[in-house]
Amino acid sequence: MGHLKHIIVTIFLFTNFCFANIKFSADSLVLNFPSTIIASGNATFSEHHIDITSHRFSYDTAALHATFEKNVTIHYLKATLTGNAFSLDISKRFILGSGNIIFFTNDIRAFADNLIIKNYEILVLRNNVSIEQNGNHIQSNELMYNLKTDTILSNERVKLKIED
């Protein structure tokens, strides 16, 4: 009977993770049936071109939704993001982040309180936004960045400070 339970769990995980192409590892994993996985300690999570590390994450296999907490780092395309907490909706291709957000790519370094990534393409930094690029500083309450084209977009008044 114990062997049968192992096979059922394996089939359950295989069918759910093959659909979304999810890979993960951690020091500790807890399965809360029917669809939640909780990972803690050196947790890693990969989906498509997104690699996420954190101290803890929870993933709902039915909703294709994950939350990440504590020392979160996301690597996507040429960008790296760090922050206190992130949530990922795989079906909507949507990421939310909050708390001490730092964004790195090529020659850009940005700081903000919150972020939204829409369609895994448009990064929106919100609240206390500061971007450093080639010795210049841009400040705003909201800035947009296209992750695919590596370009800064803005829909709000910004303050540019050029240092000599």
Mean of pLDDT values over 110-126: 93
Q: Which helix (H) or strand (E) holds 10?
A: helix 2-20
* 1: pLDDT strictly greater than 90: no
* pTM score: 0.78
Residue 9 or 86, more confident = 86
Q: Which two tokens stand for residue 23?
A: 């890979």
**Domains contained in the chain, CATH given:** 23-162 (2.60.450.10)
Which band of pLDDT confidence, cut at 50, 70 and 90, is reported for residue 140? confident
E strand or H helix that includes residue 95: strand 94-105
Count CA within 13 A, CB hemisphere, residue 27. 7
Q: Is residue 161 a contact partner of residue 137, using CB atoms and an 8 Å limit?
A: yes
Bridge partners of 143? 125
Let me know: does 122 contact 151? Beta carbons within 8 Å.
no
DSSP 12: H
Confidence at residue 157, expressed as pLDDT on a 0 to 100 scale? 58
Res 8 pLDDT > 80: no
Task: Give the residue with greater pLDDT, 56 vs 151.
Answer: 56
pLDDT of amino acid 6: 37
- Residue type (1 letter), 117: I
C-alpha–C-alpha distance, residues 86 and 8, integer Å: 31
Q: Give residue 3's pLDDT.
A: 39
**pLDDT greater than 80 at residue 163:** no
Give the Cα separation of 145 and 57 in Å (integer): 26
Any idea which residue has 């909780």 for tokens? 38
Average pLDDT over residues 19-30: 80
Mean pLDDT of the chain: 82
